[in-house]
Amino acid sequence: MTTHELVVMGASWGGLAALGLVLSGLPRDFGAAIAIAQHRGVEPADAALADALGQIGSDSRVQTAIWMQEVAEPFIRGRAIRHLEKGRIVIFGGGTGNPYFSTDTAASVRALEIGAEAILKGTHVDGVYDADPKKNPEAKRFTDLDYIEVLNRGLKVMDSTAISLCMDNALPIIVFDLTADGNLQRVVMGEDVGTRVGMRRASV
């Protein structure tokens, strides 16, 4: 894996807990600033994730599409790439900074901008199914899916704009269970985990 790989988890309190990251108390004044940032579109979990990563010795930076210099750097493509080249983790917040664009689309755009090899989407299920596995015990999991198959079948991987953007640029998406111990490491190491969405034909 290169330094330009992007892991998209959707920073959330549940996601942090799933990774086993213990959050320290953020400084009181910083916490107030985070509340302002959230109002402007920056999720507090972005800063909390950076704080948790710092606890385990990982150097990270939060960049946001919405100017909020007090709590995050503005997103600048060249700066983000330089951080990655220096071995830092870059956390992108604030979506694209534009209305009508989902966080799925923002993830796709940022992945392409930094030259990522793949989007890794961590969820609470072990891949993409042909039906909701929590409601249908007969649901079958896909190991590989074609982008067109995702769009035609209306599978809930990412929204259609994000899927189309990935398809147009041949950017694969790997959907995996973030809550399973060691899964994130296995995915990053290239092991066969979850469902891969790409140019290959679908199989169940």
Is 1 domain-assigned? Answer: no
Q: State the total domains in the chain.
A: 2
Task: Kindly indicate the confidence band of residue 33, based on its pLDDT and cuts at 50, 70 and 90.
Answer: very low
Q: Which of 116, 135, 165 is the last residue of a domain?
A: 116
pLDDT score recorded for residue 23: 39
Residues 182 and 88 in one domain: no
Is 34 domain-assigned? Answer: yes
pLDDT score recorded for residue 175: 93
CATH of the domain at 37: 3.40.1160.10
Task: Kindly indicate the confidence band of residue 51, based on its pLDDT and cuts at 50, 70 and 90.
Answer: confident
pLDDT score recorded for residue 45: 64
pLDDT score recorded for residue 165: 95
**Residues 122-176: tens digit of each pLDDT:** 888 999 999 988 899 999 999 999 999 999 999 989 999 999 999 999 999 999 9
Residues 26 and 100 in one domain: yes
Tell me the pLDDT of the chain averaged across its residues. 79
Residues 104 and 163 in one domain: no
Q: Report whether pLDDT(36) > 90.
A: no
Is 127 domain-assigned? Answer: yes
| Contact between residue 143 and residue 127 where contact means Cβ atoms under 8 Å apart | yes
Length of the chain: 204
Query: What is the rounded average pLDDT of the residues 103-126?
Result: 90
Residues 47 and 67 in one domain: yes
Q: Report whether pLDDT(35) > 70.
A: no
What's the CA gap between 90 and 6, in Å, rounded? 9
Share of the chain above pLDDT 90, in %: 38
Q: Which of 75, 90, 116 is the last residue of a domain?
A: 116
- The alpha helices in the chain, defined as continuous H runs, are 13-18, 28-39, 44-55, 77-85, 103-113, 147-153, 160-168, 183-188
| Contact between residue 9 and residue 104 where contact means Cβ atoms under 8 Å apart | no
Is 29 domain-assigned? Answer: yes
Q: For residue 52, what are the contacts with CB-CB under 8 A and spacing of at least 6?
A: 16, 19, 21, 22, 23, 24
Is 4 domain-assigned? Answer: no
Residues 14 and 103 in one domain: yes
Q: Report whether pLDDT(42) > 60.
A: no
pLDDT score recorded for residue 141: 95
Task: Kindly indicate the confidence band of residue 86, based on its pLDDT and cuts at 50, 70 and 90.
Answer: very high
Residues 127 and 137 in one domain: yes
Provide the residue range defining the domain that includes 37: 10-116
What are the tokens at 120? 């890794």
Residues 86 and 19 in one domain: yes
Residues 94 and 136 in one domain: no
pTM for this entry: 0.77
What is the gyration radius of the CA atoms in the chain, in angstroms?
17
Residues 169 and 124 in one domain: yes
Residues 40 and 74 in one domain: yes
pLDDT score recorded for residue 188: 85
